[in-house]
Structure 1
Amino acid sequence: MALAPSPVAPARPSALAFKIFLGGQTVSLIGDGLAILAIPLLVLQISGSPSAAVLAAIPRTVGYLAVGLPAGALVDRMNPRTVMLVMDVVRFGVFATLAALGAMDRLQVPVILALAFVAAAAGVFFETALAVAVRDNVEEDRLHRANSLLEAANQSAQIVGPGLVGVLTAVVGLQAALLVTASTFVVSFATVFTVLKGDQPGAAPSAPLSVALRGIGKDLAEGLRCLRSLRVVLVITCLQASANLFLAVATLLVFYVRNTLQLGDSAVSVVVTAGGVGGVLGAAAAFRLGGKVRHEVLITLGAATLGTALTGLGVSTSLVPLLLLNLTMSASAVLAVVIIRTVRQSVVPRHLLGRVTATARVTALVASPVGALVGGALTTMNHGDPRPVFLGAGVLSVLTTAAAWFLGLRHVSHTADGGPEPTAGGAPTPESHPMKEES
């Protein structure tokens, strides 16, 4: 009797090839950072309206709310590598078009806002596909490292990008800055095309868009059922949403430093920059600790530290403590986010990863504006003093984290049905979805 063939191990990129891919994504993320400031500056250049500039600064959030859930379903039905390549082409086209229209003096604010939304929506598809592509192309025990490096690049780009726009605009003009932004997506396209493998075990076969669009509603329902059935994913999704709800009041930090404490614009700049540095440090901590400490412990410590730092804002009145607290908040938030992303990639079945990832991100994203609005309203009621709001949000964040630990993460089950985790080296079955605990 013939023996059944052994399963073929997925073809992974070499270490050098994956470093090239990470370099390409770093360049692409700098493009995202450039866009953060380039689009509002372009609107101000055309209209001079601060209201229009504010609208131009929020297409990313609107894009996620508009296409986040469908993006997850479509990524699960299509080849993630193909999705990433197409979205790089779209984003290149948006910024090249903006530069060309600007050079011809044919830009109008509605056109800028529409194109900014297209670029943001394309970014949502790209990020969702990237989460799946990393799962396909990275060994499980190295997922936390890949996610840490990508997040470090993302945090660095948010610091470097806006500053680079200012330099480019002053030296060669805003249109040239838009062309530089467009070129970053060419670099991303080249590295994705060259390095990533498209056909991995468990990946859905490529499907035409017209076919992929059918039955999306059922696909989304299936993704929600998966999220509910995997306790660890459900708990960390709820914890991330609650953390975003309370952390959103930290948007009042600029108002607190500048208006309440009257420390000046330079102090605001230092405090905000400290947050960016903290994000990079948080990614570095995830890289170092992700293979040494149980993931649920790291998530809990990150969320608890975030809440504690937020509480500290409620009793701080000088620059140095505020700077250190903002750095700590950003570092702990990024640490938790990186490990949460790794857990999802490890636990969720491959054919559902896009939907679960998108659903979790949209849920967390929706909580932020709610928290910001409530925090702003409470601060107004307290005559412009946000310290009680910081204090209350921090305490609630710590209590929520404690509840998540005792109710779901302390003795977490790594299977959908609550069964025991497979033994080390055992092959996962479709029913068990193990999360490997790295030692």
Structure 2
Amino acid sequence: MSSPARPTPSQPPPVQPTPSQPTPLRHVPSRPTPLRHNRVARTHLTGVWANCLGGGVFDIALPLIVLLSTGSLAQMATIAIAQQVPKALPGLVVGGIVDRQPPRRMMLLGYLGQALVVAVIPVAMLLGIHSLVLLVAVAYVRGSLDMFARTATFVAIPEMYGEDTPAFNAALSTAWTSAAIIGPAVGGVLATTIPPELLLTVDAASFLVMAYVVTRLPVPRSAPARAGASSLAASLRAGYGYLLRMQGFGWFVATVVCVGCVYAPLGTLSLYTVSTVYHASSTVVGLVSSAAAFGLFTGSLVAHRQATTAPRTIMLRGSAVMTLGALLFFVPHWGAVAAGIYVVCAGGVYWTVGRTTTMHTQVPKEHLGKSMTAIQFLETFIGPASVVTAASVAERVGPRAAYGLVVGASALSGLFMLAARALLEAPRLSRLVPVVDGGVVEGEAA
């Protein structure tokens, strides 16, 4: 009887990481398969686009319901706040839960749950129940369930698309930005003939479509991290502790803060300048607002075409584009403001695609959910703080001073990435090679 074959020195047996070791990064070659040939990606993106379209209708319908019911701008603001709070609470906990559960289960919970919750409003109003408390509760619960769906999707993407992950991230951004342009327009047209409470059925239906799409996709059915005997609290402490110990994580967070300070006040500042300083018409104000949406769409298209570029390079280029765009705000003409917001938004979404791919390639998969919710938690506080600061400076000193803050923040985002070059530089995607003792060795891929 012949003895069993033994591995030769040139073919070492695969080493499985122990539970205490982070799951290794996934191999991503430099030439991914075009997404147009990937049936799974096409199906997924179609569902995402339909879902985002429904979300755009929701963003028009819910404020209209509040306005028609109460006539109060303050109560409309309450709804807007209720939609953002879930990023902070339960946001940070959601990441830990998703990392311990199968992504497919979490995605279905998020999408089906949102369909059910949104449907509560039209049913309640048909029954004669008109309550601001109900609307606020629906906005909050919908946002919380959306955190589960989005975080689970973020975690599942590297496992589902592997070498196509950078291209899919860019395509996902394109789907989102195009739907963000069309969705509110569709909602506005439909609102002229359909009561806003019935418009919400469009959003509910879009979640059902997305849930069906999830059942047709190879979404992982196993949890990224083993729960073991540890509690959720212990898992959260271990996960966030790991992120804090990552070399260069502080520099990475600094860039996120800077870009948030560019993005959040941009719309408020530009509309204030065009309407108050240049006394432009409402048509011009609308053109400036549209420039932002088309900038987002353009940036995502460029990111898709450069999907094989190193993520850190994409982030640096994005910071440079945002800085150049912000300088246009100093030209005394409303056309320069429109051009500036277009360029800044294009550079911003381009930067965001690089940030997402950086997280996908740098963070072990058992901590991906926590990394996403941690960044969103941070952005929840950056946005309001930067808007208040910029608005205060614009009123007390002038718009140019506020734009100076935007230019400085965008420039700092690039400088922080340069300072972190030896710390958090994402490895070139074509140079990741097989795992050795749970780690990744750089070199030419076999």
Q: What is the identity, as a one-letter code, of the residue corresponding to 2:279?
A: Q
RMSD of Structure 2 on Structure 1 (CA): 3.0
Shift of 1:276: 0.3
Which amino acid in 2 is paired with 1:264? S
1:77–1:22 CA distance, 2 compared to 1 (3 A)? same
SS at match of 1:57: helix
Q: Structure 1 residue 31: deviation in Å?
A: 1.8
- 1:197 matched to 2:212? The reply is no
| 1:14-67 Cα deviation digits (max 9, x unpaired) | 921331121111111112222222211111121111111122223332111112
Per the alignment, in what secondary structure is the counterpart of residue 198 of structure 1? Answer: coil
| Aligned position for 2:174 | 152
One-letter code of the match for 2:68?
Q
Instruction: Report how far residue 199 of structure 1 moved.
Output: 3.2
Equivalent residue number for residue 340 of structure 1:
355
TM-score (norm 2): 0.86
- How far is 1:431 from its partner? 4.6
Residue 418 of structure 1 corresponds to which residue in structure 2? none
Aligned 8 A contact 2:58 2:199 in 1: no
Counterpart of 2:79 in structure 1 is 56
Which position in structure 2 is the counterpart of 1:388? 401
For 1:175 and 1:411, locate their aligned partners in 2 and report how far apart those are by CA, in whole Å: 51
Q: 1:177 aligned to 199, 206, 218, which one?
A: 199
Alpha-carbon displacement from aligned partner over 1:162-215 (angstroms, at most 9, x marks no partner): 111112221232233111110000100000011133336x7346x7xxx99x73
Do residues 355 (structure 1) and 370 (structure 2) align? yes
The whole-number CA distance in structure 1 between the counterparts of 2:441 and 2:364 is 9
Does residue 99 (structure 1) correspond to residue 122 (structure 2)? The answer is yes
Whether the 8 Å CA contact 2:258–2:410 is kept in 1: the answer is yes
Distance 1:83 1:422 in 2: 29
> Conserved in 1, the CA contact under 8 Å of 2:312 and 2:425?
no
Residue among 430, 435, 438 paired with 1:428: 435
Q: Which residue of 2 aligns with 1:273?
A: 290
If the length of structure 1 is used for normalisation, what is the TM-score?
0.87
- What residue in structure 2 maps to residue 249 of structure 1? 265
Q: CA 1:429–1:182 in 2, change beyond 3 Å: closer, same or farther?
A: farther
From 297, 311, 314, the counterpart of 1:295: 311
2:61, 2:197 within 8 Å by CA — same for their partners in 1?
no
Query: 2:432–2:444: 8 Å Cα contact kept in structure 1?
Result: no
Rg (Cα) greater in structure: 2
Trace 1:26-45 onto structure 2 (pairs within 5 A).
26-45=49-68
Partner of 1:162: 184
- Alignment-derived partner of residue 65 in structure 1: 88
Q: Which of structures 1 and 2 has the larger relative contact order (alpha carbons within 8 angstroms, sep 6+)? A: 2
> Cα 1:267–1:107, aligned 2, differ >3 Å: closer, same or farther?
same
Q: Deviations over 1:72-120 (max 9, x none)?
A: 1000011111111011111101221111112222121111111111001
SS at match of 1:428: strand
Do the aligned partners of residues 267 and 410 (structure 1) sit closer, same or farther apart at CA in structure 2, a change above 3 Å counting?
Answer: farther
Equivalences for residues 235-246 of structure 1 within 5 A: 235-246=251-262
Please tell me whether the aligned partners of residues 73 and 355 of structure 1 are also in contact (alpha carbons under 8 angstroms): yes
Q: Secondary structure at the match of 1:426?
A: strand
Cα offset, 1:403, TM superposition: 3.3
**What residue number does 2:155 align with?**
132
The answer as to whether partners of 1:310 and 1:394 remain within 8 angstroms in 2 is yes
Aligned length: 420
Q: Secondary structure at the match of 1:155?
A: helix
Change (3 A) 1:260 1:84: same
SS of the residue corresponding to residue 433 of structure 2 reads coil
The separation in 1 between residues aligned to 2:126 and 2:99, in whole angstroms, is 39
Name the structure 1 match of 2:420.
Answer: 408
Q: Within 1, Cα distance between the matches of 2:114 and 2:443?
A: 36
Q: Is 2:434–2:441's contact at 8 Å kept on the other side of the alignment?
A: no
- Structure-2 change in CA distance of 1:238 and 1:222 (3 Å): farther
Q: CA deviation at 1:408?
A: 0.6
% same residue: 21
Instruction: Give the Cα–Cα distance (whole angstroms) in 2 for the partners of residues 93 and 368 of structure 1.
Output: 30
Structure 2 residues without counterparts, runs of 5 or longer = 8-12, 17-25, 28-34
Q: Is the 8 A contact 2:247 2:423 kept in 1?
A: no
Deviation at 1:411, TM superposition (A): 7.2
SS in structure 1 of the partner of residue 435 of structure 2: coil
CA displacement 1:381-413 (0-9 Å, x = unmatched): 12xx312110233124313422331x1136755
Q: Which amino acid aligns with 1:236?
A: F
> Aligned partner of 1:137: which letter?
M
Q: State how far apart, in whole Å, the 2-side matches of 1:404 and 1:344 are.
A: 14
Q: Tell me: CA distance 1:176–1:435, structure 2 relative to 1, closer, same or farther (3 Å).
A: farther
Q: Which amino acid aligns with 2:403?
A: F
The letter of the residue matching 1:427 is P
1:148 to partner: Cα distance: 1.0
Within-5 A mapping of 1:219-238: 219-231=235-247, 233-238=249-254
